[in-house]
């Protein structure tokens, strides 16, 4: 009986030791896994923190850039408002000048019509009071002259008008018709060749280029030592300019375009000529 008890005790101790070893290995594996997971967590946290910091810096830079652009936009808006105010003011002045020019043109036509009517009345009066053959011939000559002037005036009214209300002559004959009105001086010119300045009255004209197909030209104009260029201007399109002390614009009109050549005229109001003469006398 004693021997059986000893055998059973030894068998029980033989399986406990491997079990303890297995449990120990499992525990070590768990520790290793936990340590690995902890390391990965720390690494992930550091990566997230780095990305977050980089994102914050990027956002701050974007905000700074946005503020700069907003400031630039505000400045540009202020400048545009200022430019708009200047343009609006100039436009009002231009509209006022245009209205004045149209009024003067209308008055000019009325004055011309009144003169012709008065002359026609005078001629008919002479016809009714003079009966001799010589007198009748003289009066008939006047009647023919009046009729010619009336026809010329009718042709004048068919001419195109500029934005300032002035009549635009398209050839030499129409320039002569405008001369007969007596309101302006007309100085005709022809320029042959590029970059050859030519003095016409109180202005210098220099041909820069010609486009025959489109009837366009480019020219440099010098007025009182001030030079400005007009590019791709059409025939019969007036170029207006002012001289010192004058309020009525002078104009340059090119009514013929050829190969490296242009022809036209400079139109000077009589009032400008008188103003210039008065200024010259006062300067002396």
pLDDT in 10s for each residue of the chain, 284 residues: 444 444 445 555 567 777 777 777 777 777 777 777 677 777 777 877 787 788 778 777 777 777 777 778 777 777 777 766 765 666 565 666 667 767 766 666 666 667 667 766 765 666 566 545 555 455 456 555 555 555 555 454 567 777 777 888 899 999 999 999 888 999 999 999 999 999 998 999 999 999 999 999 999 999 998 998 999 999 999 999 988 888 889 999 999 999 999 999 999 998 765 555 454 445 55
Find where tokens 């001419």 sit. Answer: 159
Instruction: Report long-range pairs for 195-204 (Cβ below 8 Å, ≥24 apart).
Output: 197/222, 200/252, 200/266, 201/266, 201/268, 202/243, 202/250, 202/268, 202/276, 203/241, 203/250, 203/252, 203/266
**Entry pTM:** 0.45
Residue 7, pLDDT score? 45
Contacts of 251 by beta carbon, 8 Å cutoff, 6+ apart: 162, 164, 166, 238, 239, 240, 241, 266, 267
Residue 98, pLDDT score? 63
Tally the C-alpha atoms within 13 A of residue 204's C-alpha that lie toward its C-beta.
13
129 exposure class (CB count in 10 Å sphere: 0-12, 13-18, 19+): exposed
Residue 132, pLDDT score? 52
User: What is the DSSP pairing of strand 261-269 with strand 184-192?
Assistant: antiparallel
User: Do 206 and 255 contact (CB within 8 A), yes or no?
Assistant: no
Query: How would you classify residue 102: left for phi > 0, otherwise alpha for psi between -120 and 50, otherwise beta?
Result: alpha
Q: Within 10 A of 113 (CB to CB), how many other CB atoms are there? A: 13
Fold (topology level) of 183-283 = Tick-borne Encephalitis virus Glycoprotein; domain 1 (2.60.98)
């Amino acid at each position: 009986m004693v021997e059986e008890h000893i055998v059973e005790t030894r068998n029980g101790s033989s399986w406990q030791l491997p079990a303890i070893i297995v449990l120990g290995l499992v525990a070590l594996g768990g520790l290793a896994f936990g340590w690995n997971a902890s390391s990965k967590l720390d690494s992930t946290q550091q990566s997230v923190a780095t990305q977050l910091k980089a994102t914050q810096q990027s956002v701050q830079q974007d905000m700074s850039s946005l503020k700069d652009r907003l400031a630039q936009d505000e400045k540009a808006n202020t400048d545009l408002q200022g430019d708009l105010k200047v343009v609006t003011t100039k436009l009002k002045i231009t509209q006022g000048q245009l209205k004045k020019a149209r009024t003067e043109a209308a008055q000019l036509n009325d004055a011309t019509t009144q003169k012709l009517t008065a002359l026609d009345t005078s001629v008919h009066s002479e016809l009714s009071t003079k009966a001799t053959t010589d007198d009748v011939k003289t009066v008939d000559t006047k009647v023919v002259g009046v009729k010619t002037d009336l026809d010329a005036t009718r042709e004048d009214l068919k001419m195109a008008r500029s934005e300032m209300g002035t009549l635009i002559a398209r050839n030499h004959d129409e320039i002569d018709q405008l001369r007969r009105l007596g309101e302006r001086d007309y100085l005709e010119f022809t320029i042959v060749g590029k970059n050859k300045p030519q003095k016409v009255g109180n202005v210098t004209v220099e041909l820069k280029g010609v486009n025959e197909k489109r009837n366009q030209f480019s020219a440099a104009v010098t007025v009182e030592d001030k030079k400005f260029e007009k590019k791709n201007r059409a025939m019969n399109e007036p170029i207006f300019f002012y001289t010192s002390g004058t309020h009525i614009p002078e104009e340059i009109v090119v009514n013929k375009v050829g190969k490296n050549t242009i022809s036209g005229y400079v139109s000077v109001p009589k009032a400008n000529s008188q103003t210039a003469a008065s200024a010259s006398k006062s300067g002396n």
